Chains A and B, each alone.
Chain A
Amino acid sequence: MSRTAESLIAELDRIFVEQFEVTADAVVPGARLREDLDLDSLDAADMMIAIEKRFGIRLDDQVARTFRTVGDIHAYVRTLVAEKDAASTDDSGDQPAV
C-alpha cells in the first residue's frame, strides 16, 4: 500500500526539522529555502542526498536546481515517489511500496 500524500509531506518536513535545524512551524509550502530558511548551496547538496536516501529515489540535478520553496520540493518528491510506487506495484503487487 502506498503512503498517503500527507504522510509523505510529513516525512519530508521532518527532514527539514531534524537534519537542517529548521523550526517546525517555519516549514510551510510557501517558505523560500534561501531567504526564509537560510539554506544555501551547501545545504542543497546535503538536502538532495538526505531525500534520496530517505525515499530511495534519485533527484534530477537540473530539476533540483530550480527549487525555490518548500512547496517545490514537496511537489517534485511526490511525483517521483508516485512513479516509484507505480513501478513497484507493476512489478510485484504485494510488495510494500517503499
Chain B
Amino acid sequence: MKRAVVVGSGMGGLTAAILLAKEGWSVTVLEQHTRAGGFLHRFFRRGVGYDTGFHYVGGARPDQLFGRAMKHLGVYDDVKWHPLDPDGFDVLRFPGFDFRVPVGVDRYRDRLVEAFPEERDGIDRYIAHTRAAVHAYGWFNLDDTVPPESILPFEQESVLDVTRRFFKDPRLTMVVAGQAALYGVPPKDAPFGLHAVVTDHFMQSATSIEGGGDRLTFALVRRLRALGGEVKLKRRVVSIEVADGQACGVTTADGEHYPADLVVADIHPRASLDLLPPGSVRPAYAARVRDARPGLAHVGAYLRVDGDLSVLGNHNLYRFASWDPSSVERPATPEETPFYFLTCPGQRHPAGVPGADQVVLGLIYTDYARFADARAAGEGAYRDLKQAVLDRFLATMLADHPGWSVVDAEASTPITTERFNGAWQGAAYGHYHSVGQMGRYRLPMVSKVRGLVNVGQTVGFPGICGAMMSAYVVCGELTGGSARLMAEVRAS
C-alpha cells in the first residue's frame, strides 16, 4: 500500500488526505497544533467557542461546487449547513450608504441598477465580463473541456482596472470592488478572475455551519479515520527527507520518522522549502518562493457583546470608513480602523451554550511588521500595541452601534496567527493573491522534488473553498487526471 504523509490539517490537507485514502493510500496527517483544522479551528473561553477563520462559505448547496465536493468527500450529511439571508448575506456599509449583496447574479445586477440607474449599461457589461471570467475556470465549473490557460487574461487585469473601465461613479466601483475585503486583496491588486469566481461563488449561495467551522473539521477527520487514515496532533514536522530527488518521508520534532511515497505539504511553500535538505530545488525556484509577498495580516477580535445584536442578524457586515478603495488595505492602527468585518454566529443558529448568542467576531486588516517590531521591542510594547489597535476598533464599532456594550474582548494579532497556524507573517490567506503573483506567476502545486506537492490557499485561491480545490486539482494530477475526479464530483 502506498503511504502518504500530509503536513498540516487545514482544509487543503484534510481534503487531500480523504481523496488519497479513497484511492487506497495509507494516509497520516501531522498537525503541529493541539487542534486540527488550521483556520477552521475554534478556541474556547468559559465554554464558549470562537471561530478563528471560518465565517461562511459559498456554493454549499447540494447541487453546487462546495456542496457536491462535501458529498464526494462523504461529509455533507455530517454537518448542519445554515443558509444566510438570500436577500442580503453581506451588508457593505459605506458612509451614508448600505448595499445588501443578494444570492443570484440577476438579483445582484438589478440591485446595482436600482442604486446606480444611470450606470445600467456599464453594469450589464460588467456582469457579462464577470460571467466570461467565471467560465474560464474549468475546475470551478467542473468542466474539463476548458483549457487551463483560458484564465490567464482574467488574472492579468485588476479588479480596479475592470470596474474603472465599466463604471463612471467611483462609488459604484467601490460597491463592486469592496467585496475584495472578503478575500484580503485590495482592488488595485486583486486579479479580476479571482474576484469574479469568489463573488459568483457566494452569489450562488452563502452558508454558515451550525456550531462553527470545526464541525466540518471533525466530520472530515471522522471520515478520514473511517477510510483507515489517521490524524496526529502536536506533531511539528522539522524535516522532509529526500533521496535521489524523491521525497521519502518526514521527521517530527519529537524524533519520530514517517516514511512516505508522497508528502503533501498543506503549509506555505516557503515553509516546505525550509524543511527540505539544502539543494533540493533549483536556486531560481527557491528565490521565487522566498521573494513571494505574503497576504494581508489581520487582527481578530473575539467579543461578547450586550445589546440588540439582531442588526447583525443572518448576514455579515463589511464596514468601510470611506469610499476610498485603499480602505481595504490600509492597516488598522491605534489611530484608525479603516475597515472592519463583523459577524454574529449566535444570531443565525441555536447557540447551545449560555453566552454564545452574544459572540461577535470581528476582523480588521493590519500591518505585520508593526506587530513584529513591537514584539521584538518587548512583551510590554507588543501588549500595548495590541490593546491600542483593539481599543480603536471597539470605539469605532461602538460609535456605529451606540446601544451595544462590550462584555469581553480578546484579540489575536498577526503574531498569534503565525504561532497557532504557522502562517508566514500571520497572513490569513497565505499568499498575496495579486495580479503580480497569480496567473503565470502563480506558485506551482507540484514541485521539482518528486513525491512532494503543495496544497492550500497559497497555491490555490483564498478561503476554505480555494484550499479545498487546491487538493482536488493536485490529487487529480496524482491519480490519473482531473477529468475523472471532476466527473465524480459532478455526479455527487
Contacts and interface: CB of A to CB of B under 8 A. Distances in A.
Interface of A: 15, 18-21, 42-43, 45-50, 61
Nearest to A65: B149
B480 interface: no
A61 B282 contact: no
Given A42-B446, A61-B152, A21 B283 contact: yes
A21 B282 contact: yes
A18 B283 contact: yes
Given A19-B282, A20-B282, A42 B152 contact: no
Contacts of A45: 440, 444
Minimum-distance CB pairs A-B, first 8: A19-B284, A46-B284, A19-B283, A50-B284, A46-B285, A20-B282, A42-B448, A20-B284
Contacts of B282: 19-21, 43, 46
Contact of A46 (B149, B288, B446): B288
Interface in B440-463: 440-441, 444, 446-448
A42 B285 contact: yes
Interface in B268-298: 282-285, 287-288
Interface string B130-159: 000000000000000000010010000000
Interface string B112-131: 00000000000000000000
Q: Which among B282, B284, B448 has the greatest number of chain A C-beta atoms within 10 A?
A: B284
B284 A43 contact: yes
A80 to B, nearest CB: 16
Q: Which among A18, A46, A50, A61 has the greatest number of chain B C-beta atoms within 10 A?
A: A46
Contacts of A49: 284, 288, 441
Contacts of B448: 42-43
A15 B441 CA distance: 18
30 contacts: A15-B284, A18-B283, A19-B282, A19-B283, A19-B284, A19-B287, A20-B282, A20-B283, A20-B284, A21-B282, A21-B283, A42-B444, A42-B446, A42-B447, A42-B448, A43-B282, A43-B284, A43-B448, A45-B440, A46-B282, A47-B284, A48-B440, A49-B288, A49-B441, A50-B284, A50-B287, A50-B288, A61-B149, A61-B152, A61-B440
Q: Which among A15, A18, A19, A47 has the greatest number of chain B C-beta atoms within 10 A?
A: A19
Q: Which among A15, A45, A47 has the greatest number of chain B C-beta atoms within 10 A?
A: A45
Interface residues of B, number: 14
A42 to B, nearest CB: 6
Contacts of A42: 285, 444, 446-448
Contacts of A20: 282-284
A61 B287 CA distance: 21
B457 to A, nearest CB: 20
A40 B285 CA distance: 13
Interface in B303-355: none
Interface string B155-175: 000000000000000000000
Contacts of B441: 49
Interface in B196-229: none
B193 to A, nearest CB: 15
A69 B441 CA distance: 22
Contacts of A48: 440
Contacts of A43: 282, 284, 448
A43 B283 CA distance: 11
Contacts of B444: 42, 45
Contacts of B284: 15, 19-20, 43, 46-47, 49-50
Nearest to B291: A53
A53 to B, nearest CB: 9
Contacts of B447: 42
Given A19-B287, A20-B282, A46-B285, 14 more contacts: A19-B283, A19-B284, A20-B284, A21-B282, A21-B283, A42-B448, A43-B282, A45-B440, A45-B444, A46-B288, A47-B284, A48-B440, A50-B287, A61-B152
Nearest to B279: A21
Contacts of A19: 282-284, 287
A6 to B, nearest CB: 23
A48 B444 CA distance: 14
Contacts of A21: 282-283
A15 B288 CA distance: 14
A47 B440 CA distance: 12
Nearest to A62: B149
B336 to A, nearest CB: 35
Contacts of A15: 284
A50 B152 CA distance: 19
A49 B284 CA distance: 9
Contacts of A46: 282, 284-285, 288
A98 B282 CA distance: 26
Contacts of B440: 45, 48, 61
A66 to B, nearest CB: 14
Nearest to A21: B282
Contacts of A61: 149, 152, 440
A92 B424 CA distance: 42
Contacts of B446: 42
A61 to B, nearest CB: 6
Nearest to A18: B283
